[in-house]
Structure 1
């Protein structure tokens, strides 16, 4: 197996890499750990304790954007970056917007509060943060997206890294029952639905659903039962710890 991916299926950044690999027909094994439980060996590979990590023939690659660009460079078909230079730059910007602004609102302010704090660390959700996020941060991000997204199809005609990155964030947010208000942001709602209906997303969704709401200690066995291509070794530990990981 040429590729090993370290990172949890629930992570939007891991999902982005896996969708790219599925589209390019690349086989891989996965160690589906959350960044909060990576051991010392994991930290040596990922000094920021972030996922995903890609290992290929002993070489280590960090950060989902770097990894996806690398996969595009070595396996250019099907192309996931537009051929036109201006379109390619815009696609990279929208990927960055998803990975930062959307992630800040949907993942770190919403999903982290409602899922990670409660089920990983046993802490109470900060409801004030959640309310501010729903009233301010998410609407601001969706207002911007609504002006960028097409009425039908994908952003640049064929599927691109920008489409994938945006949809990945909303898939994770859906785990805490967030859905786009289609009456207020109809383009965004329809766009996300179109992208998530693609076969790679649906394939990964089966594995995501198999592990969802399972305790960290039981997620690996649940994924094995669901047929996930697991590594024989894990970099996970039993006790989660706080840090500054990117999911």
Structure 2
């Protein structure tokens, strides 16, 4: 591979996080343009017609959607494998990835993180506290009950760490950003599973960038990340004023 892969997408996105953890676990070099989709310029719209992140560029190839990107990485760089070899377990892993991306994404990202973070700090809009309360007290416990019955007491879902483990852990990081912590007494397996996942070197390394990003105004984030040594691209697609668009899920 002559040039590192390029990822477009912000460190605090769980879908970007999922892709970056896969890259890190596979030891694949990459560069990142850490933009939020809300500030993507015309070039970003050309590369991502739905204005979603992440975007992967591999030479002339452009891919959208975190699931598509992770499957491409697995096909192109098979080892170490992040998908179970057994077809039944592989299908189960893909389902849990989809469950995380769709249901957890809707509840954690859009009903909690977006409401309490993005709407307030990027668009100067009020938080719909009823939406947040329903997500926290009613909708997220449904997911936690479901996962508690399936997550292992120790280790990972299918032996070695897989896309299912990565996806679940990536989504729950955004719950922490809005001060939600899984109740270890009510959901002990889930709480222990998340602690194990977040202790892995890729999650720990990304957490440093995430935490600085959260504490830094959007126009200053790129400079701060450069000072931290993040593997940034030479140019950015994040030059437009914040605006809503077709951006849900990744």
- The TM-score by the shorter chain falls in which range? over 0.9
Q: Distance in 2 between matches of 1:212 and 1:225?
A: 16
Tell me if 1:113 matches 2:115.
yes
- Contact persistence 2:147–2:190 (CA under 8 A): yes
TM-score by length of 1: 0.98
Question: Residue 155 of structure 1: SS of its match in structure 2?
Answer: coil
Deviations 1:126-147 (A, max 9, x none): 1111111111110111111111
2:233 is matched with which residue?
A: 231
The corresponding residue for 2:177 is 175
Once the two structures are superposed, what CA deviation does each residue of 1:146-189 show, in whole Å capped at 9, x if it has no partner?
11111111000110000000000111221111110111111111
Query: What are the equivalent positions in structure 2 for 1:87-126 lying under 5 Å apart?
Result: 87-126=89-128
Q: SS of the counterpart of 2:149?
A: helix
Using the size of structure 2 for normalisation, the TM-score is: 0.97
Q: Counterparts of 1:64-213 in structure 2 under 5 Å?
A: 64-213=66-215
Query: Hey, what does 2:10 align to over in structure 1?
Result: 8
Contact 1:52 1:62 in 2 (8 A): yes
Structure 2 CA distance, aligned partners of 1:244 and 1:180?
Answer: 31
User: Is the 1:210–1:226 Cα contact (8 Å) retained in structure 2?
Assistant: no
Structure 1, unaligned runs of 5 or more = none
Q: Distance in 2 between matches of 1:19 and 1:174?
A: 18
Using the TM superposition, give the Cα deviation of residue 29 of structure 1 relative to its aligned residue in structure 2, in angstroms. 0.7
Following TM superposition, where does structure 1 have runs of at least 4 consecutive aligned residues deviating by more than 6 angstroms?
none
RMSD: 0.9
Deviation at residue 238 of structure 1 after TM alignment: 4.2
Aligned residue pairs total 247
For 2:240 and 2:43, the matched residues in 1 are separated by: 14
SS of the aligned residue for 2:89 comes to: helix
The 3-state SS of whatever aligns with 1:148 is: coil
Deviation at 1:213, TM superposition (A): 2.3
Separation in 1, partners of 2:218, 2:142: 33
The answer to whether the 8 Å contact 2:7/2:57 transfers is: yes
* Corresponding residue of 2:60: 58
Give the C-alpha shift of residue 2 in structure 1: 2.8
TM-superposed CA distance for 1:244, in Å, is: 2.6
Q: 1:222 aligns to what?
A: 224
What SS is found at the alignment partner of 1:141?
Answer: helix
Query: Structure 2 stretches of 5 or more lacking a match?
Result: none
